[in-house]
Structures are given as C-alpha cells and as structure tokens.
Amino acid sequence: MEVILKEDVANLGHRGDVVKVADGYGRNYLLPRKLALQATEANKAVIEQMKAAAARRSAAEKAQAEELVAKLEPVALSFTRKAGEQGHLFGSVTSADIAAELATKGFDVDRRKIQLAEPLKSLGDFTVGVKLHREVTAHIKVKVLAEAGEEVPATEAAVAE
C-alpha cells in the first residue's frame, strides 16, 4: 500500500513523503491516526499544496528553534544527588529531571526531545543534546554534584582509626 505522510513518522519518513508500507500498518495505524493519506491522484495534488505549506511551517519552526538554541546554550544545570565513594549515584539524573529543571528556568522543553541515551549515574560534568527541530540541536551543560557531607569518605576513614 502506498501512502502519503501527513506528519513525520519515526523510521518511516517525513511529512509529504510517498512511502510504501504493509497494508495492515497503513490501514490499522497510519490512516486512523491521520498520520497518512492513501496515495491517489487527487490526494497527490492536495499533498503538493500541503508540502508548500509544510515547507513554510518548517522554516518558521526552524527559526524558532534556532532562537531557542541561542537562549539554551548558555544555560548550565546543576543537580545534587547522594553518591557513593567511587562517585556513583544512588539514583540517577533522567531526561525528566532535566526537563523539570529547564521548566523552572523558564524553558518549556518536552523530555522526549532531550537526547540522553541512558540516565546519568555518576558525578561530573556532562553535555546533553536537546533536539528542538529535525535540523537543530541545542547542547546544555549538566553538572551532577554530591550532597554536602557525601564527598568526605577519606576523612571518615581517618577519624575511625
């Protein structure tokens, strides 16, 4: 079955692409969710108009994303967590934590746009990508610190002797 995508679909294509998909996937997933149209001649004409509008919309979204990147780049986030002796955390810093901290600083970023392969589980400085647009990614600095009184294991051992 050939369909015309109305929205970007991960691992399939971008808005306006004509793609060939399995009949069941198109009929049961893409069409009911209005992510795609059947590829008929009439729909192809309509989609050409939609492509022009989508290109204008995408350009506007990209410009907004680039403005947001300029505001996000200087932002540095700091998290304080309990940590063990080797600097491993007793928890982690997740994309949801980063999104919540960005929200307190006035940035409304969806946690799914934060590109964190796995949660941060150690102390240190990290650079985390935030995909704001398919062509625009911001990089923010994240610092994970130990709670006060946690980074003194060597002095505790000296006191115990």
Could you please report the per-residue DSSP string of 58-73? HHHHHHHHHHHHHHHT
Q: Is 129 exposed, middle or buried (0-12, 13-18, 19+ CB in 10 A)?
A: middle
Mean pLDDT by 10 residues, the chain (161 residues): 88 87 93 90 81 84 89 90 88 92 90 90 92 88 82 43 41
**What CATH architecture does domain 2-64 belong to?**
3-Layer(aba) Sandwich (3.40)
Strand partners, 140: 128
Residue limits of CATH 3.10.430.100 in the chain:
73-160
- Name the class of domain 73-160: alpha beta
Tell me, yes or no, if the pTM score tops 0.75.
no
Tokens of 113: 């746009």
Task: Specify the DSSP class assigned to residue 153.
Answer: H
As a whole number of angstroms, the distance between CA 65 and CA 132 comes to 6
Q: Please give the Cα distance from 95 to 49 (Å, whole number).
A: 37
Give CA–CA dist 1/30, Å, rounded: 11
